[in-house]
A and B are shown apart, each in its own frame.
Chain A
């Protein structure tokens, strides 16, 4: 149980275009999803917290107009990188927290999406 999928797994886009990444919880409902960014050989950096039916909460330094997040249902959150530039190239990972949450608020991670902007 507790499987999270991401689509696409890899994407290459041209500078200036927008890219949408989907994050789905396959066998559970998630009121809260998180989006992370990971640079090579580094740990995960939280970008934003996505709550179903409400606006996402962005971490300091993350541009909300550049990284659009939509959490339209209890099983789907999307991250759209708008007007992508080469410096946006990175590994993007989402995670989902079980609705109703266990006391330890466990999160389950997707397999990640490798974005390359040329």
Chain B
């Protein structure tokens, strides 16, 4: 069974502060996806990282895939209340039948 551990589970910060969410596993993934989900809605794909060591930026969000493709991080700079939500990482591997393995999620609250 492949597991993806996300940390922290919950993060509450003030507007303007930075935050980092981590996603770790002992398994290797062919790709890793980050989603953001708001209450009562489905997850929205933010980014997909494929290559070990890859860094992708999406405005104030920076995503990194570990060199060994076992871990990833999401860093938000100068967080805004609109960044509030549940952040989910999900890894894809052939060993798991090309099905996504989801992390437990990180609930982020950005206070104005």
The residues of A with any CB-CB pair to B shorter than 8 Å are: 4, 6, 34, 41-44, 46, 49, 91, 93, 95, 103-112, 114
Contact = CB atoms under 8 A, between A and B. Distances in A.
B28 to A, nearest CB: 14
Given A43-B88, A43-B102, A46-B99, A104 B42 contact: no
B49 to A, nearest CB: 8
Give chain B's interface residue range (CB within 8 Å of chain A): 20 to 34
Nearest to A44: B102
B105 A42 contact: yes
Interface residues of chain A: helix, strand, loop or mixed (majority): strand
A49 B30 CA distance: 19
B81 interface: no
Given A44-B102, A46-B99, A106 B43 contact: no
A109 B43 contact: yes
Contact of B92 (A93, A104, A112): A104
Most buried by A among B33, B40, B43: B43
Most buried by B among A4, A6, A108: A108
B98 A105 contact: yes
Given A104-B48, A104-B50, A105-B92, A46 B43 contact: no
A112 B48 contact: no
Interface in B61-112: 88, 92, 97-100, 102-105, 107
Contacts of B102: 43-44, 46
